[in-house]
Amino acid sequence: MNICLIIDDYLPASIKVGAKMMHELALEFIAQGHSVTVITPCPGLQSKFEITQLDGVTICRFRSGEIKNVSKVKRAINETLLSYHAWQAFKPYFKQNPHALIIYYSPTIFWGCLVNRLKKLWGATSYLVLRDFFPQWVIDNGMLSATSPITRYFRFFEALSYLAADTIGIQSPKNIAWFSATSAVKKPLDLLYNWAANEPVPAGNSNYRTALGLEDKVVYFYGGNIGHAQDMMNIVRLAIAMRQETNAHFVLVGAGDEVELVREAMAQHDLHNMSLLPSVTQDEFKNMLAEFDIGLFSLHHDHTTHNFPGKLLGYMVQEKPILGSVNPDT
């Protein structure tokens, strides 16, 4: 069977958990004898599109505007155009290469138009892997009013995304209950936990501890999105409180809309027990995780929905102790 995966971020460059999970899903499908194509944007791509291979997966990248680490307005505009740009770039390819199953990943909420077009073209079944209730978490955190025109705009595309799905996979029992009670879209719901390949990376493939001068430290490691939903200042406050613990050090790796906030706080509080590093490839991330000592995660206290952070599974595969902060009831 030909299977199409759609996601806004993919390997090898991405550090995001979603990209890692979708690639592992693709590899499992291939191991079972299926053929897998991934549709994903590539900001800055010189040509209109490119088709490459990774571990037997066909990756169709299309040129788009920046959707990561840019202003909220620019990101909203560029994400809104994702379905349009994908269709314009690959319309002939789509017509010549039908697929029987479409699996698309949220976030983002803007794949609904593309999925509906592909379903009509191919007669395909669609499955939404729903990991993030947007714009609900933005409302919870006070960034948007529940009744603002911007919220209504996002709600429109959120509904399109749900309506395009034949089945929706939600990551926790409480989120299924919440979604059933609050959503007007009535589709079959699956309990779909996050997943990870059970293949730990052996330590010794990197020397970050030496490069950062942390040979005698217990290293608390966070890798991924450094954004508002994670309340990264929560980890900064922990580092401030632990300044007297001279054998402890915090390493944050990634990108997001709170990078500058973290950097400014580090300078303001003279935090020599914290290092902030840019995003790395997924392979390098695994090497760093294998080398360091404790996995960190943080969820914003004001979330009303419930979450199993995907990075937990990576920490568990590496058999790392985990220190986390969650919103109530998660």
Task: Look at 75 and 300; give whichever has higher pLDDT.
Answer: 75
The pLDDT of residue 292 is above 90: yes
Mean pLDDT on 251-277: 91
Q: What's residue 279's pLDDT?
A: 83
Q: What's residue 191's pLDDT?
A: 95
Q: What's residue 185's pLDDT?
A: 85
Task: Look at 67 and 105; give whichever has higher pLDDT.
Answer: 105
- Domains of the chain, each with CATH number or no CATH: 2-191 (3.40.50.2000), 208-325 (3.40.50.2000)
The string of pLDDT tens digits covering residues 208-228 is: 889 999 999 999 999 888 876
Name the least confident of 108-117, 220-229, 315-324.
Answer: 220-229
The pLDDT of residue 234 is above 70: yes
Name the least confident of 15-29, 39-53, 144-158, 263-277.
Answer: 144-158
Q: What's residue 141's pLDDT?
A: 66
Q: What's residue 206's pLDDT?
A: 77
Task: Look at 69 and 288; give whichever has higher pLDDT.
Answer: 288
Q: With left for phi above 0 and alpha for psi between -120 and 50, is residue 171 left, alpha or beta?
A: alpha
Q: What's residue 201's pLDDT?
A: 82
Amino acid letter, 59:
I
Write out the chain in H/E/C secondary structure. Answer: CEEEEECCCCCCCCCCHHHHHHHHHHHHHHHCCCEEEEEEECCCCCCCEEEEEECCEEEEEECCCCCCCCCHHHHHHHHHCHHHHHHHHHHHHHHHCCCCEEEEEECCCCCHHHHHHHHHHHCCEEEEEECCCCCHHHHHCCCCCCCCHHHHHHHHHHHHHHHCCCEEEECCHHHHHHHHHHCCCCCCEEECCCCCCCCCCCCCCCCHHHHCCCCCCEEEEEEEECCHHHCCHHHHHHHHHCCCCCCEEEEEEEECCCHHHHHHHHHHCCCCCEEEECCCCHHHHHHHHHHCCEEEEECCCCCCCCCCCCHHHHHHHCCCCEEEECCCCC
CA atoms of 196 and 310, how far apart (whole Å): 9
Model confidence band, residue 303 (pLDDT cutoffs 50, 70, 90): low
Q: What's residue 302's pLDDT?
A: 66
The pLDDT of residue 134 is above 70: yes
Name the least confident of 13-17, 58-62, 211-215, 237-241.
Answer: 13-17
The pLDDT of residue 137 is above 70: no
pLDDT averaged over every residue in the chain: 89
The pLDDT of residue 90 is above 90: yes
The pLDDT of residue 295 is above 70: yes
CA atoms of 7 and 264, how far apart (whole Å): 32
pLDDT above 70 coverage of the chain, percent: 96
